[in-house]
Structure 1
Amino acid sequence: MEFGFGVEDEEFRAEARAWLGEHLTGVFAGAAGWGGPGSEHEGSAERRAWERELGRGGWIGLGWDSGSGVGVGVGAYGNRRATLTQQVVWAEEYARVRAPGRYGHIGENLLAPTLLAHGTREQQDEFLPPIARGEALWCQGYSEPGAGSDLAGLRTAAVRDGDVYRVTGQKIWTSLAHEADWCFVLARTEAGSRGHRGISFLLVPMDQPGRIEVRPIRQLTGTSEFNEVFFDGAVARAAHVVGGAGNGWRVAMGLLGFERGVSTLVQQIGFAEELGGVVREAVSSGAVADPVLRDRLVRQWAELKVMRWNALRTLGGSGGSGGSGGSGGGAGASSVAKLLWGGWHQRLGELAMGVRGAAGAVGPVDWSEGAPYELDALQRLFLFTRADTIYGGSDEIQRNIIAERVLGLPREAKAR
């Protein structure tokens, strides 16, 4: 597969670089590097304002219109049109200047392509413009206690009441629920249904005091990106069911494919920056002189290159220009990608602590002031990555999907 940057891509790069240089100033420049793994709490106000700045520049939703074959220009929802290579160019330039961690990823890269694929025109017209303007933040209501990677075991229910559904149940590990304006929720809309059947994909406003409660979950890093969300008769309009009632499983699986499409390349650019930080620490501390650590550093670099080529190959299988997050690659491709990056990122965290040595286990504490234990960037990276092989579909689930849906191996017998 050929994947390179042409003249138009380099022109697009120059435009992106110039815009970032002009706008990533003042308070936004001070927020550079904020919002990485374990640091999602940093600069909330500045990063929300930065989302709106990106929206005004048309830099949100670059791939939404690329399926039309039209190059750079103004899209239907206030976004710029951009080809797949131009989306990668933007991600590279964004990472190069260490622009603030994105708050709008879930809405832009997960919900938006899902609405474009499965939503009605009315839903697209209502929800895509606020995302493109950087005004509406979204969270994902999938996992539940007892139904995490085994998502088909969910029990949250939504009962039709005239023109609305009333949603009751609990979601967990909900990223940014404490900040989000909306949540897309998987819920059972058919009483007595089991497994994949009877599930619907609902768009639920979060501003419903007394009907929605958000409880932060304190993580190993000391921060609270994840939350528990309790729905007690929360209202969702019937017109906000995506893909039709009872078709939620198909919509949800489509969304997971978008999650592991173009956005995987963007994620890998962030991984490269993190790896660079570990390498710089190894050089400055002298740890790079250890041949075993040096070999591990080289291996991490090589594996990251392989992941990039695999992602490009997978996207190339979707027909080239594919929209934002286009998955491609056939059944199991997204599971392979998740297995690759989850294990790689976790090993990077372990390597960061190997480079630091014994010093990685302690941090500065002002005992006279009773100050809390403060983690540095590499310590946060290590602690955060312990969850990489669990969230977003555990390694065990991904291997089952590959075994059953790709290799055709017999399904494991379930106890009756």
Structure 2
Amino acid sequence: MTHFMNVDDYELTLAIVLTQDALESNNNVLTADQARRYLRHGGTNQQMQRLETLLKLQPEISSSSFQKLVNAAQEALSCAANNQKLSEAGKFGLEALVRLNGRPAVATKNGNVDLEDPLLASWKERLTPFALDGTLAKRIRSVGRIDRAGKHAGTGFVVGSDLILTNRHVLQAVASPMSSNGPPDRFELDDLDISIDFSDCPDDSNGSDRFRVVEVVGTGSDPIPVVANHRLLDAALLRVEPHLSSQSLPAPIGLLKAPSESAKNRSIALVGYPGRPKQPMLGGKPDLEMIEILSKLYPQYGRRYFSPGTVMSAASGIPGTENFWTFNHDATSLPGNSGSSVIALSGDARAIGLHYAGTARHANYAHATAQLANSVDFLKTGGVVWA
């Protein structure tokens, strides 16, 4: 049985990249109605040409996979233009358009991103000031991959001279409570080979950017279940030991206390290490060919990616989070991004959030640092850098 779905207005605005002359007003605001009119009057061909150009830059995509993805994207744009229902198969075309256009994920190289990368075309203007003064590279290099015996467990980022912020559920993958009768926020590491690596691709690293995790400084008091519970604090603070060589830990990003920086519609970027995604389903069964196609859009899992996006709902606007410490964002993420830094694309590009969960084709979730500042005791410890 084939399932059908609508292309909602928000996804449509993320799936296409418009030139300025495609807009019908001078306020730079793109509405879904404008996008549909644009697609009906030549825009679909323009978007398909762009998609094919970008896909040809992905050397891992075979000719058959290329054609299947192009056909799926063509269906998605056609249905969107005419406000028609989209088949479940076509949603993969929509997903590819979103990832390649409005919400790309770009692999970092030498601790930075190339603003000439075609995937960043719609973001280049916003990113350029941070690239020119070196801020972007500093923030990217302060995000590392947390490993257990060399295996990817999650992401973390530097918030002090020897301190790493990550998720409690990442901690649960590498450490255990000290005792069944002890405090729920007291952990001991499961073995001596827990580390964080700040290289672009830790699997190919020589270890010069790797630091051993030696202590759990503090964590949220409640165990984190497999299904995210937004009422719980999914955060943990770790300490690393000095590097055996003269290599020092990257500079702390600095946690922002200003709630205005995580307000709705603010531009942000997610920096972290995505892992292999869950299997997409087609008619109740895994679509193995589409899994292969979409995996090529992330040429290598477990390496560092930079994903720009937008705050969708501020920390005070999400029902069911009585502590008001969670906000939504739409930057592209996958499992493994847990513990990623959400940085503001404004001011000094400091951290406004700690990414901890996502729901496919709906939203991603992060703890707002401004709301954690006065409510989380272990983040008040000496050494955590606030901005």
Please state which structure has a larger fraction of its residues in helix. Answer: 1
Please state which structure has a larger fraction of its residues in strand. Answer: 2
- Answer 1 or 2: higher relative contact order, Cα 8 Å, separation at least 6: 2
Same fold flag (TM > 0.5): no
- TM-score tier, shorter chain, comes to under 0.3
TM-score normalised by the chain length of structure 1: 0.26
